[in-house]
A and B are shown apart, each in its own frame.
Chain A
Amino acid sequence: MRDGSVTALRKRAARDATALRLIALAPPAVILFLRAPGTAWPHALAVVTAALACALIFAELRGRGPIFEVLVPALLMVLFAPPEAAPWQLALALSLALVLGALVFGGAGFGFLSTGALALALLAFSFPPLAAVVPETPVLWAALPGGALLLLAGLAPWRVVLAGAAGFALATGAGGSGFAQGAPLAVLLVYFAADPFGAPVTGPGQWLSGLMVGGLIALLGAAGGPGFDMSAGVFAVLLAGLFAPLIDAGVIAVADWREGVSHG
């Protein structure tokens, strides 16, 4: 085929989804390991072991299933969990999130929530002071190219990201957002809100869901003072994710109704 490389990438994206998402997350993870080896290594060891153990047990029980998709939420957990958390706490929260958010539905891709956001939210629920944090600036920088790759490949719906940014800007009055706010917001939107399995699949639904995420981030974060709050972001994504199937159903119902009107 004489397809361009971008077209080829977009065609392969579905088959290589796990690999592409891991590639996108690799640079920030490497930077994190270099800058804070003291906390990153134990965290990574704990979450990867827990994630693979859960996936293996379920793969064994069902007699099916690739298991490496669980590494994506595991890496997100390492990147966004607070450094003071103990490894076992992360492992516990992630196992719970994987089982409840994906594995009981039949594996990654059959659930309807972003497992990374669910894991961070469960961590905050279970051990209250341990809310998700914004990673250090170099780590954020390193996450941006991966985000661009996901957007290009179509694995992160761009409408959600754009609408999320618009929603946040609208809700906060669009003022004073520099890199300190923009980069964490972008990373949150691309890696959590635009999760391929958590976001709606219809175009208008993606716009709606993105606006909802942006608005909720501003709303939930307002209590903690001005500026961007990662923890609020995670909860906003989770809340919007709960509504995603409903939004899709609504969009299709409206389309059905309009077609019914035009066909008589």
Chain B
Amino acid sequence: MSCLEPHRKRAFGPPAIVPETVTLEAQDMPGLRPVACVEEGAEVALGTPVMHDRARPAIRVVAPVAGRVVRVETGLGRRVIRVVIRPAGPARAAPVRAVGDTRELMLIHGLWCDLRTRPFDRVPDPEVRPKAILVNALDGAAVAAAQAAPFALGHGLRALCRLTDGPVILCQHGGAALAPAEGRVELDTVAPRHDGMAHRLRRLCSVAHGGEVWTLDAQTAIALGRLCGEGLFDPTRLVEIVTPMGEVAGLRQAPLGADLAEALKEAGWTTPATRPLRRNESRIDPRHDAVPPPDGALGPIVPVPALAATLPMRLRAIPLLHALQIGDAETARRHGCLDLVEGDMRAASAICASGADYGALLRRVLDELEGER
């Protein structure tokens, strides 16, 4: 890891996954039209651009490992779907020439695609300045990574301050502060165990009445900090794997896009298919990967408090779910759906008896609202 960290907790970190293949999905660049910039069979080095946005080529995805491109799948109009790389060796951080400001660094090293906007959950436009940046240190993998690299996290947070005129807020679940709060870096250490980024956003800087906020995972901030502070490009991320019983099987370290099938089999999953580590994914839970129910007619919403508590909308939670079910975008916007993204709706879909996939319903409404802008 880093040579600047004075006292690292673990000498070698969690066990690393050495994948057979690394798959970079174009789905991980929501809102963009990615095109491939490598050919099948080409050799790529760590950090070589693999795909970029057609309209803004500066936004790009880079190779997380050195190896050979074995497949480039494209769809209509040269639009790339995924790029598969066979790594030549294990992924590890490598020294790079880190020049330029935060924006350039993040664009050059493919970290920009880890940023997401709220509303709409898109990769942000580099020209925009958000009103705040929220850093997600809510899950186990992010906390473990932050505890192993507090200096890099601090560096990263300070670097992020240059992207916004507002605060950079590190969101964590109680516990000791993972990074010092200084300057425009703020900490949000409210303790409830089951709230998510949507609750924090709603409370700290809601975008329901306009404005744009960016969110990113703490591990991306650490990667950025390492890039600025030590000149190291680290393409690996920690990931928490959950067994089918719902217990945490443990942390693993894997490069972005690594095939996790082997690790999942060890965790007791019955039929793990090829399952690449997606961008910003730090927890693999079989219950989240479950296939959504076939869409027949939806049942009634039973308005229980447990359902309302999954959303940060307080008294508007049930009316919002009603609006999503009937696809009423204007009412949903009035109830604050701009603060939400698909991932926030998982708990509601699991608890609600209607069988609705609220993630998909929300996406439909958000697409409609985005089109109206």
Contact = CB atoms under 8 A, between A and B. Distances in A.
Interface of A: 1, 7, 10-11, 13-15, 17, 62, 64-66, 106-110, 153-155, 157, 196-197, 201-205, 248, 251-252, 255-256, 259, 263
Interface of B: 209, 246, 296-297, 299-308, 314-316, 318-319, 334-335, 351-353
Given A154-B306, A252-B315, A252-B319, A109 B301 contact: yes
B239 to A, nearest CB: 20
Nearest to A16: B353
17 contacts: A13-B306, A14-B301, A14-B304, A14-B306, A17-B302, A17-B304, A17-B353, A62-B297, A64-B296, A107-B299, A197-B303, A201-B303, A201-B308, A202-B315, A248-B319, A256-B334, A259-B209
Contacts of B297: 62, 64-65
A205 B305 CA distance: 14
A258 B250 CA distance: 46
Contacts of B335: 252
A64 B209 CA distance: 39
Nearest to B355: A15
A15 to B, nearest CB: 5
A180 B27 CA distance: 65
A62 B306 CA distance: 30
Given A1-B246, A201-B319, A14 B351 contact: yes
B315 A196 contact: no
Contacts of A202: 315-316, 318-319
B303 to A, nearest CB: 4
A11 B303 contact: no
B306 A10 contact: yes
B302 A196 contact: yes
Contacts of A248: 319
Shortest 8 CB-CB contacts between residues of A and residues of B? A109-B300, A202-B315, A201-B318, A14-B302, A154-B304, A10-B306, A14-B353, A154-B305
Nearest to B287: A1
Contacts of B304: 10, 13-14, 17, 153-155, 196
A155 B303 CA distance: 8
A109 B315 contact: no
B300 A15 contact: no
Contacts of A106: 300
Nearest to A7: B306
B127 to A, nearest CB: 26
A255 B304 CA distance: 21
B306 A196 contact: no
Contacts of A108: 300
B297 to A, nearest CB: 5
A132 B332 CA distance: 41
Contacts of A201: 303, 308, 315, 318-319
Nearest to B245: A1
A15 B353 contact: yes
